[in-house]
Chain A
């Protein structure tokens, strides 16, 4: 039922013409038809991925394609670990992702607090600079950065992927600042009068209240680090240091067609942590994404 029909006056208005009365149920069906079509479009690749991950090598090239493999080859998942060294890639990704998440939460919380709840001269001009850096493409800065890390002898280590995150990111600063500015001043006024230091107020009062926003930052950073391809691509050269994205791309180009089933199994495994996280923290996700669009 459309909203306008809920009020009696609108109902009266709608019933005045027969055309409108007829077009309502048609519109309803059409709505669900379009939604169903798009749902199919969004789901088919994921269903196809799972289905392919359970196939026999002989079933791969068949046309028309088979959706339900027979027999179901669960052992493709074992092969992904044994042949594809999936376990190593997953572990490397954890090694990069966990400190990155910690770094993003710590640094951006501190920085955002400095922009949101400490009054200092020139603050809003500096914040404008933070926002302006958002349109600076990574492709402009990556060559000098690569050369810096080369000179530090940090190529083929995880430092270039982790350390910059400890220095904040404009997007997260913006997100957290919005949240912190919305907290009422009275919350911290009393502590200020009592002479508490800003650091104490930050740790004891503001951080606990900002947990939902910090969860959004943690989630986004987790996904960002877990899915990152470009960073590992330019900084890592030993295959046994590869993270999952790079590792899967490497399996795809190294093994190719006839091994596609277990490569798809590895691909499914790479998505699994993200999907699980999504279902456990769906609200945080949706609210976080919605928050990102509220910039006017």
Chain B
């Protein structure tokens, strides 16, 4: 009895010491969490319910900002543009990412050269890439339309044409798919060869092997990439800011939620309104992430984990 009690006390004081040690190690994170995450998170929620022209203090408004946002045609356009971009860029990026990784996984001569070529664009600074592509999309002397002319296509004005500007941005997003290729390639290399060989013996063709073995085996990695990609796509900012001088032109056709949010905050100095925009952006990201997790419950194979 006494022995048990003393050993309990001993372990609890040891626990306390370990707790102190653990907290000490993670103390930078705790500080950052409070100052750079929790406080701004709550403050921006509060601001979203206020009228806050940056030089004066915030005044409580209630739901007005949110109500006004859904009456604001530019906000609705930005909502549409961001969704359009995300639903275009993420599936295409996933498709090409997996396709290229599968090709590289098929015993390719010069694998590391191809991998380097695919990967270089994704470490190229975004601003540099944006300036080059801006130049390449030039309707008169740009390389894109020059190359299209070889296959008999008279290319559009791309970033000069509201109909084609978002397509140009999506095309450009595929250019930096190399990051995902490297991740998918690593996942593919972990797919057990025995499984694939056994299924060929059973007479499975290439498509059946991809559909029934390879894709299920790498599905957790696909889910991870799709979620990360979607979160990034809804925050798509730098390219548009550089290529359109921060305007989201032409005719608001590339006005992303992030761009309009930035304009509200730093051009119109409406911090409350901008915060409400930020919160809607956040809710959209949360909803999409939840949907993906829900759907993936049925589709993703965790190998019995």
Contacts and interface: CB of A to CB of B under 8 A. Distances in A.
Interface in A3-56: 3-4, 7, 9-10, 13, 31-32, 34-35, 38-39, 41-46, 48-49, 52
Interface stretch (B59-67, B71-79, B160-168, B279-287): B279-287
B89 interface: no
Contacts of B86: none
Contact of B40 (A46, A61, A144, A293): A144
A85 to B, nearest CB: 16
A118 B22 contact: yes
A126 B183 contact: no
A227 B201 CA distance: 49
Interface residue range, chain A: 35 or more
B8 interface: no
Nearest to B172: A45
Interface residues of B, number: 105
B186 A42 contact: no
B126 interface: yes
B148 interface: no
B276 to A, nearest CB: 11
B141 A38 contact: no
Given A168-B28, A263-B131, A4 B121 contact: no
Contact of A144 (B32, B44, B100, B221): B44
B49 interface: no
Contacts of A166: 28
A31 B23 CA distance: 53
B106 A31 contact: yes
Dominant secondary structure at the A interface: helix
Nearest to A126: B26
Interface of B: 15, 18-19, 21-26, 28-29, 31-33, 35-37, 39-41, 43-44, 47, 54, 96, 99-100, 103-104, 106-108, 112, 114-121, 123-136, 140-141, 143, 146-147, 174-175, 178-179, 182-187, 193, 196-197, 200-201, 203, 220-221, 224-225, 227, 231, 234-235, 237-238, 241-242, 245, 258, 261, 265-266, 271, 274-275, 278-279, 281-282, 285-286, 289, 302, 305
